[in-house]
Amino acid sequence: MEIRQETINHVAVLSLEGRLDASSARDIKEKVSSLSRENRINLVIDMAGVDFIDSSGLGSLVSSLRTVNKLGGDIKISALQDQVRAVFELTRLHRIFGIYDDSTAAAMRF
Amino acid sequence: MPEITSPARMAHLERLIQFVARHAETAHFPTQRIREIELAVEEILVNIFSYAYPDTTGDVSLTCRVEDDLRLVLEISDTGTPFNILNVPAPNVAAGIYERQVGGLGVFFVKKMADEAHYRRDGDRNILMLIFGRHRHGAEGQEHAGGVQE
């Protein structure tokens, strides 16, 4: 999985590319932990490039949200593809994460 | 029936999933349904890779057939620790962020995506049979519907 980082509206935006699954879940958790140590706790995770997510991938997002929530931050999610959106809805994570059409819209909500 | 056997290791995951996906593609299952089948197969395989052989290494075997272009019938077997994955309790997906279990969603997905799921222990083998129709039950009204009945 490739993780690209940029800043929009002073918010770190992580753009993921590839499958967010058992083999890549740790990458995202480590990236969010690393950012939180720099006190970057308001994040957008852009999923436009993610065409597949499994339970491990979801677990990494939940775990990352807990990490930043404890520090007073938040994670917003943008640009879900169909398979990923279906999985979010099945597990009702769309009610826990703020979901936005694109990363700019998500970053502007902080 | 077409069969593939491979060491139960993550390095072989994609090849095993592709084996199943090819059968669904050949039968012209909708793309979204193929992604759902891949998700279920992935969850089962990762579980086997992670837990079936705690003190040793072993194989996993898949057999797959499509009946009348309507139902994909898949059997996943291993010779690891006896374990009926279908007995894993359903997670509470209505829980808030701090009450949620981070794990446990894999079997939930399997039960949601498959029309039928049957486990049996045959000699030294765990055998899980999963049956997928061309469309997921209740996919239209998603949040509370579909899949294997509890």
Measured between CB atoms, which of A23, A55, A62 is closest to B10? Answer: A23
| DSSP element (H, E) containing B145 | none
Residue A81 sits in a domain of what CATH number? Answer: 3.30.750.24
CA-angle at A96, arms to A91 and B140, nearest 5° = 40
Q: Exposed, middle or buried: residue A10 (CB in 10 Å: 0-12, 13-18, 19+)?
A: exposed
From chain A, the residues in CB contact with B13 under 8 A are 22-23
**B109–A89: do the CB atoms touch at under 8 Å?**
no
What structural domains and CATH numbers belong to chain B?
Answer: 3-133 (3.30.565.10)
Q: Mind listing the pLDDT tens digit for each residue in B80-99?
A: 999 999 999 888 888 888 88
Residue spans of chain A under pLDDT 50: none
How many structural domains comprise chain A?
A: 1
Q: Which domain holds residue A13?
A: 2-107
Chain A residues bordering chain B (beta-carbon distance below 8 Å) = 21-23, 51-52, 54-56, 58-59, 62-63, 65-66, 69, 82-83, 86-87, 89-92, 96
pLDDT for the residue numbered B108: 93
pLDDT for the residue numbered B140: 52
CA-angle at B88, arms to B74 and B23, nearest 5° = 15
pTM: 0.89
